[in-house]
Amino acid sequence: MKRLAAALRREPVRAYLYGLLFPGAALAVAYGVVAQDKAALWIAFGGVVLVPGAAELARSRVTPTSDPRTKSGQPAELVPETPAEPDAWR
């Protein structure tokens, strides 16, 4: 199960699975495995299963601004941008 969870965290695997949701639902309807009115529910369920992995991956790649760090892990200093000319604010 850990290997499956690790595979689902990888973006290429999730993108491939997203591409299989619609054709898979169409095949399931065509072969009578799923009723036509329930296919959209299964597609939505597949999306709900795949989205948290993408959200968690995106969240893990950002640094909160309250504790900014450089790539080497050193504390970073945020310097506000100032306009080059005083009239730039107008």
C-alpha count within 13 angstroms, C-beta hemisphere, residue 56: 11
Mean pLDDT of 55-84: 73
The DSSP annotation for 12-50 comes to HHHHHHHHHHHHHHHHHHHTTSS-GGGHHHHHHHHHHHH
pLDDT at 35: 92
pLDDT at 78: 67
Phi, psi of 75 (to 5 degrees): -60, 135
pLDDT at 1: 77
Query: How many residues comprise the chain?
Result: 90
pLDDT single digits (tens) 20-39: 888 888 898 999 999 988 99
The Cα–Cα gap between 89 and 83 comes to: 7
Q: pLDDT band at residue 84, thresholds of 50, 70 and 90?
A: low
Pairwise pLDDT comparison (85 vs 68), residue with the higher score: 68
